[in-house]
C-alpha cells in the first residue's frame, strides 16, 4: 500500500507525542504571529472563568465555554488559511482576498455565536 505522505509513518504513542508537539508549535506560532488570536485568548481568559462562576447549570456552563473555545479554533483555522494563501499567492488576487474575507467572516460569526449563546443562557 502506498503511503499518502512521508510524515504519516508514525503510529501509536510516538504519533500522539508528535501530534501534541505539532499542536503546541501551532499554538505558539499563533501567539507569536497573530494579534487576533492573542486578543481572543484574552477574551477567553476572561469569559471562561466567568462561565464557571455564572449561576447557571453545568450544561449551560459547558455550552458557554464551548462557544468561547470555538472562537479560538476558528481563528486558528483562519490564520492557517491566511498563511497558505499568502504562500500560494503573495501578490494581490481577487480569489486570495475572497478566501481571506471568508475566513474572517467565519471568525466574526463565531464571535456572534458567543454573544447570542451567552445572552440566551444568562437572560433567557
Which residues are marked as active site? Answer: 75
Give the three-state DSSP class for 47: helix
**What does the block give as the cell for 46?**
476572561
**Are the C-beta atoms of residues 69 and 117 closer than 8 Å to each other?**
no
**What does the block give as the cell for 58?**
453545568
**Are the C-beta atoms of residues 113 and 67 closer than 8 Å to each other?**
yes
CA gap 74, 106 in Å, rounded: 7
CA gap 108, 10 in Å, rounded: 37
Amino acid at each position: 500500500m502506498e503511503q499518502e505522505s512521508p510524515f504519516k509513518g508514525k503510529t501509536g504513542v510516538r504519533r500522539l507525542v508528535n501530534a501534541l508537539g505539532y499542536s503546541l508549535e501551532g499554538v505558539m506560532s499563533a501567539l507569536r504571529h497573530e494579534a487576533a488570536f492573542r486578543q481572543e485568548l484574552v477574551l477567553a481568559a476572561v469569559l471562561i472563568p466567568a462561565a464557571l462562576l455564572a449561576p447557571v447549570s453545568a450544561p449551560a456552563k459547558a455550552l458557554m465555554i464551548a462557544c468561547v473555545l470555538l472562537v479560538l479554533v476558528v481563528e486558528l483555522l483562519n490564520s492557517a488559511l491566511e498563511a497558505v494563501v499568502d504562500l500560494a499567492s503573495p501578490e494581490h488576487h481577487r480569489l486570495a482576498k475572497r478566501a481571506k474575507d471568508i475566513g474572517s467572516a467565519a471568525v466574526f460569526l463565531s464571535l456572534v455565536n458567543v454573544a447570542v449563546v451567552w445572552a440566551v443562557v444568562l437572560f433567557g
